[in-house]
Amino acid sequence: MGNAIGVHGMVWVGGWSRPEAERAVASTAEAGYDLIELPALDPASFDVDMTARLLEKHGLAAAASLGLDDHTDVSSTDDAVVRAGRRRLADALALVRDLGGDYLGGVVYSKLGRYDRPVSERGRANSIETIAALADEARPSGVTVGVEICNRYETNVLNTVEQALAFIDEADRPNLVAHLDTYHMNIEESSMREPVLAAHRAGRLGYIHVGESHRGRLGTGTIAWREFFAALAEVGYGGTITFESFSSEVVHPSLSSALAIWRDTWRDSMDLARDARGFLRAHLDS
């Protein structure tokens, strides 16, 4: 399969200052990836012109992902919080569009973090309305919006592919897709095969994160990789596959806390990234 292979920017850096951006983009190219996924938690802070120049220099494509927070949670019942979330999502979409990218994903439908109760009916409706409007805004620029399915400790809205497909059906936009992540599937789903098949049958399988069960080096945890890649081959998935891994070696002030990254799962970013790319290519080629 001719999939584009990406790597999450936080494999390299915790922010996006000029030195961090230069390191992340150059390292992504050096490690042999096709795409870098920008961690756009604060999309308005990105220097778009600088980032575009770096991407062009190194021949890379870019996608962006983010998770919202307590102040921008579009599944809130507080109208002011929902409005703030919609502004942040609009900034993230502008970042992708201005960089010539075609994908915006992540936990764009709620905050990224633990809740102490189920999502309310009104909160879920706010989230669906927000994502439908975001997809409408994204469509003229050729941008696809993906809802990343995450575990119960990082959202209370979409924990399984079944929930995501119902959410997408209600939003009912052609450029809205399910964003699968093996780390989260390993926690919430009953297999690594069925979610892939279900999203494909629905025509909504649009983007994939690959992460190990402990968020470290691929192939050293408990994920059933052969089952997962066999499912991708079975449905002929030709989209982007992005490696995502987190360690306390690289710290983002808010994301590291939201994801509970308290220990070193790795120390050498380049060694990790090269190993992951080789792991992915071996499974895809076989």
- The whole-angstrom separation of Cα 99 and Cα 141 is 11
SS3 assignment for the chain: CCCCEEEEHHHCCCCCCHHHHHHHHHHHHHCCCCEEEEECCCHHHCCHHHHHHHHHHHCCEEEEEEEECCCCCCCCCCHHHHHHHHHHHHHHHHHHHHCCCCEEEEEEEEECCCCCCCCCHHHHHHHHHHHHHHHHHHHHHCCEEEEECCCCCCCCCCCCHHHHHHHHHHHCCCCEEEEEEHHHHHHHCCCCCHHHHHHHHCCCEEEEEECCCCCCCCCCCCCCHHHHHHHHHHHCCCCCEEECCCCCCCCCCCHHHHCCCCCCCCCCHHHHHHHHHHHHHHHHHC
Residues 2-14 as b/e (b if ≥16 CB within 10 A, e otherwise) read: ebebbbbbbbbbb
Residue with token string 């609009």: 90
Amino acid at position 73, single letter: D
Closest CA to 152 of 123, 189, 124: 189
**Active-site hit among 148, 154, 189, 212:** 148
Active site residue 227: no
**Active-site hit among 194, 234, 244, 249:** 244
Active site residue 244: yes
Catalytic residues, which ones?
148, 244
